[in-house]
């Protein structure tokens, strides 16, 4: 069963800001994105800053409203049509862990208040009242590696890694089906990153959770995820099982990302592409042609004139005929040249 199904999702923003800004020129932050996250599956969205990963995640919880496309929860719930109570219940089952816990945790609140304020307003408040809720909060803190006595402390008394554990505990308290992790390890030291990733793996196994894992580092994503979608300028450029992607990456942009992190000890995947201009340039404005053509060493006139569709990669299709984690879904790529 699919926990989340996304079909042809689009979101655009006005290209100019301010009171006197002209209306009519848009930036397509999410441009025809589709993917599925199965039960107990971790799906990674990977790409440079500004490629649309976070916007996609926020569309799933309706922090932003999509312009086009469909979002279905457990196959039959149309998320975009939910209102009031139904939307609140959906948000209990799909929880968001933000990148920066220093900004997402209210410094004036105790950890108990941080954890219980949303719980109290959710409609799932336990019958035992405040006492029972605090017991549940203490138990979830222990599960993420903190102590029950930490309930009385404030966020400033914790390190960055500990604050991220508190954010994860807040997401887990209402027993969700899907946890959205938005760059949850990018601001942490490498040693702490490993601890948080191992914690999330344990939580996934213990609670039978699904994850949407957003990252810009393909090495981290390949370690943690079952399946990865590589985004650029609001579009999925390539998607494959994580266990295969580092070996079979076909799109020049995916190879560029791998070359900057030396994933799994590999040599840079494409020596003709450098990381000197790694920061993403202007996000797609809905024009013709491949979004990556201006940076691609393989681009020709067709790439500039036509937008390549997502298609199955024939040379790797045989690898995706089964498998517990990938679910037998094909390796797909958006490129004329591979």
- Domain residue ranges in the chain: 2-74+177-333
Residue 127 has a pLDDT of: 81
DSSP 8-state code for residue 325: T
Task: Give the Cα separation of 292 and 280 in Å (integer).
Answer: 10
**Which pair of structure tokens corresponds to residue 56?**
């996609």
Q: Are strands 235-241 and 77-78 parallel, antiparallel or unpaired?
A: unpaired
- Per residue in 221-262, pLDDT tens? 999 999 999 999 999 999 999 999 988 899 999 999 988 765
Decide: helix, strand or coil at residue 107. Answer: coil
Decide: helix, strand or coil at residue 178. Answer: strand
Q: Is pLDDT above 80 for 180?
A: yes
Q: Which fold has domain 2-74+177-333?
A: Rossmann fold (3.40.50)
Our measurement of the distance from residue 277's CA atom to the centroid of its chain's CA atoms, rounded to an integer in Å, reads 24
Which helix (DSSP H) or strand (DSSP E) does residue 140 occupy?
helix 129-143
- CA distances in angstroms from 110 to 60, 98, 265, listed in the order given: 29, 19, 43
The model's pTM is 0.87
Per the prediction, the chain carries an average pLDDT of: 86
- Per residue in 33-79, pLDDT tens? 999 999 999 999 999 988 999 999 999 999 999 999 999 999 889 99
- Per residue in 12-34, pLDDT tens? 988 766 565 566 678 889 999 99
Q: Is pLDDT above 90 for 126?
A: no
């Amino acid at each position: 069963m699919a926990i989340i199904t996304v079909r042809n999702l689009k979101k655009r923003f006005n290209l100019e800001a301010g009171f006197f800004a002209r209306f009519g020129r848009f930036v397509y932050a999410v441009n025809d994105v589709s993917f599925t996250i199965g039960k107990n599956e971790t799906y990674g969205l990977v790409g440079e800053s500004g490629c649309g990963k976070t916007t996609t995640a926020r569309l799933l919880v309706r922090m932003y409203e999509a312009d086009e496309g469909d979002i279905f929860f457990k196959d039959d719930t149309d998320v975009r049509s939910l209102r009031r109570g139904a939307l609140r219940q959906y948000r209990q089952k799909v929880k968001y862990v933000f990148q920066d816990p220093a900004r997402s945790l209210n410094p004036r609140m105790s950890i108990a208040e941080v954890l219980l304020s949303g719980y109290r307003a959710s409609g799932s408040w336990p019958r035992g009242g405040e006492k029972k809720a605090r017991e549940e909060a203490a138990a979830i803190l222990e599960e993420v590696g903190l102590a029950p006595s930490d309930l009385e402390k404030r966020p400033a008394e914790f390190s960055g890694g500990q604050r991220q554990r508190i954010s994860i505990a807040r997401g887990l308290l209402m027993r969700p089906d899907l946890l959205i992790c938005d760059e949850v390890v990018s601001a942490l030291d490498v040693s702490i990153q490993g601890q948080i990733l191992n914690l999330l793996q344990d939580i996934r196994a213990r609670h039978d959770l699904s994850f949407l894992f957003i990252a810009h580092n393909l090495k981290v994503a390949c370690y943690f995820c079952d399946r990865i979608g590589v985004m650029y300028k609001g579009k999925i450029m390539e998607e494959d099982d994580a266990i295969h992607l580092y070996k079979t990456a076909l799109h020049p942009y995916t190879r560029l990302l791998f070359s900057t992190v030396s994933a799994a000890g590999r040599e840079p995947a494409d020596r003709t592409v450098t990381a000197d201009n790694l920061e993403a340039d202007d996000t797609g404005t809905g024009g013709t042609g491949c979004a990556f053509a201006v940076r691609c060493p393989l681009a020709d006139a067709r790439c500039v004139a036509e937008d390549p569709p997502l298609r199955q990669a024939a040379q790797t299709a045989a690898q995706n005929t089964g498998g517990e984690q990938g679910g037998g879904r094909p390796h797909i790529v958006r490129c004329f040249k591979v």
